[in-house]
């Protein structure tokens, strides 16, 4: 009897909100647990090993950042990721634009081609590029046949090979988010720009690119971050002279069993990635995107 009275005294709305909140947390528990066990624990273990093995201290990080070889690997990683991002942007923006303006029948076809390549086995696609790009491969033979070159070009086991292979793989990850942004832009906005006297180039520079910037930034960041940690394609198409971080980590773990150093390398990569993500949130998340009215 007294409990019934006291529960009447609590405002009904507040009670409801509280119970909804606790219920929400309860419903999220399985997901939180999953994230904890499968994501947070391994990362923390790795961090722990990087500062505990072989002896407690920061010597792994000192070695990583002090050695010419390792710094070179870091430089390669960022350079390759940067070049791949840039070229993916140059190829991806027109592709995404084409997808946005083509009649539905054609854009569906182009979409299918993009997605089909994405769903094909990564290893198979990378080997296919090896075959295409090698000294006696299709690309070289066509170029020789057309008389563009006299000598076969070296297109694999170097930076060119890695860039071609990775750009191809990364393309959908840029095109898909960018396409969504571009499709949201009203085509009559561009007509208005033309009527106002803007040339095609001015329309692109002053209207389309600024409006597409959120899509460009998120797509480019996605590609850059994925490229930083990519392993298979650089390992197969790149040579030893352009070793990237993921290859280094694989070598450290598989051949040298140096978990401490590998952990340190992985952790540095993680910190850089999170830093980039923070930059994007800071400048594009709350920035003046002007899309609020839509």
Q: Which is nearer to other proteins, 178 or 207 (CB)?
A: 207
Site string for other proteins, 135-174 (x = CB under 8 A): ----------------------------------------
Q: Which is nearer to other proteins, 117 or 202 (CB)?
A: 202
The residue from 144, 198, 226, 276 that contacts other proteins (CB under 8 A) is: 198
* CA-closest candidate to residue 93, choices 220, 226, 228: 220
Cα angle, residue 180 at apex, residues 174 and 186 outer, rounded to 5°:
130
Residues from 249 through 288 that contact other proteins (CB under 8 A): 288
Number of residues engaging other proteins in binding (CB under 8 A): 24
Q: How far is the CB of 292 from other proteins (least distance, A)?
A: 5
Alpha helices per DSSP H over 102-237? 104-119, 122-133, 138-146, 159-183, 187-195, 200-203, 209-228, 232-237
For residue 263 the two structure tokens come to 């952990």
Long-range (24+ apart) CB contacts under 8 A made by 44-49 are 46/263, 46/266, 46/267, 47/263, 47/267, 48/263, 49/259, 49/260, 49/263
Q: Which is nearer to other proteins, 81 or 193 (CB)?
A: 193
Please return the burial class of 293, using the count of CB atoms within 10 Å of its CB with bins 0-12, 13-18 and 19+. Answer: exposed
Indicate whether 293 belongs to the interface with other proteins (CB under 8 A). Answer: yes
Distance CA 123, CA 134 (A): 16
The residue from 5, 20, 25, 195 that contacts other proteins (CB under 8 A) is: 195
Q: How far is the CB of 214 from other proteins (least distance, A)?
A: 10
Long-range (24+ apart) CB contacts under 8 A made by 142-146 are none
Distance CA 66, CA 71 (A): 7
Indicate whether 100 belongs to the interface with other proteins (CB under 8 A). Answer: no
Residues from 60 through 99 that contact other proteins (CB under 8 A): none
Q: How far is the CB of 257 from other proteins (least distance, A)?
A: 54
Residues from 199 through 218 that contact other proteins (CB under 8 A): 199, 202, 206-207, 210-211
* Residue 10 dihedral angles phi and psi, to the nearest 5°: -75, 130
Site string for other proteins, 175-194 (x = CB under 8 A): -----------x-xx-xxxx
Q: What DSSP character marks residue 67? A: -
Indicate whether 101 belongs to the interface with other proteins (CB under 8 A). Answer: no
Contact residues for other proteins, defined by CB under 8 A: 186, 188-189, 191-199, 202, 206-207, 210-211, 288-294
């Amino acid at each position: 009897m007294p409990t019934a009275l006291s529960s009447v005294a609590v405002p009904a709305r507040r009670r409801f909100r509280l119970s909804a909140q606790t219920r929400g947390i309860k419903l999220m528990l399985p997901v939180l647990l999953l994230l904890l066990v499968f994501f947070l624990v391994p990362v923390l273990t790795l961090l722990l090993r990087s500062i505990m093995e072989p002896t407690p201290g920061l010597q792994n990080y000192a070695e990583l950042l002090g050695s010419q070889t390792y710094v070179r690997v870091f430089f390669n990683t960022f350079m390759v990721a940067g070049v791949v991002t840039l070229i993916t942007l140059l190829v991806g923006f027109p592709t995404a634009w084409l997808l946005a303006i083509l009649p539905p029948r054609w854009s569906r076809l182009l979409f299918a081609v993009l997605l089909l390549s994405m769903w094909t086995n990564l290893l198979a696609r990378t080997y296919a590029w090896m075959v295409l790009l090698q000294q006696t491969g299709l690309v070289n033979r066509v170029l020789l046949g057309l008389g563009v070159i006299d000598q076969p070009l070296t297109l694999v086991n170097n930076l060119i090979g890695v860039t071609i292979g990775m750009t191809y793989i990364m393309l959908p990850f840029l095109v898909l988010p960018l396409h969504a942004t571009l499709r949201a832009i009203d085509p009559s906005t561009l007509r208005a720009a033309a009527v106002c006297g803007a040339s095609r180039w001015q329309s692109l520079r002053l209207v389309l690119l600024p409006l597409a910037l959120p899509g460009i930034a998120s797509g480019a960041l996605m590609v850059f971050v994925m490229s930083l940690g990519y392993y298979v394609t650089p390992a197969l198409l790149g040579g030893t002279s352009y070793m990237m971080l993921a290859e280094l980590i694989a070598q450290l773990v598989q051949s040298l069993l140096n978990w401490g150093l590998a952990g340190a390398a992985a952790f540095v990569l993680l910190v850089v990635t999170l830093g980039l993500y923070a930059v994007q949130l800071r400048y594009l998340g709350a920035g003046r995107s002007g899309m609020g009215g839509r």
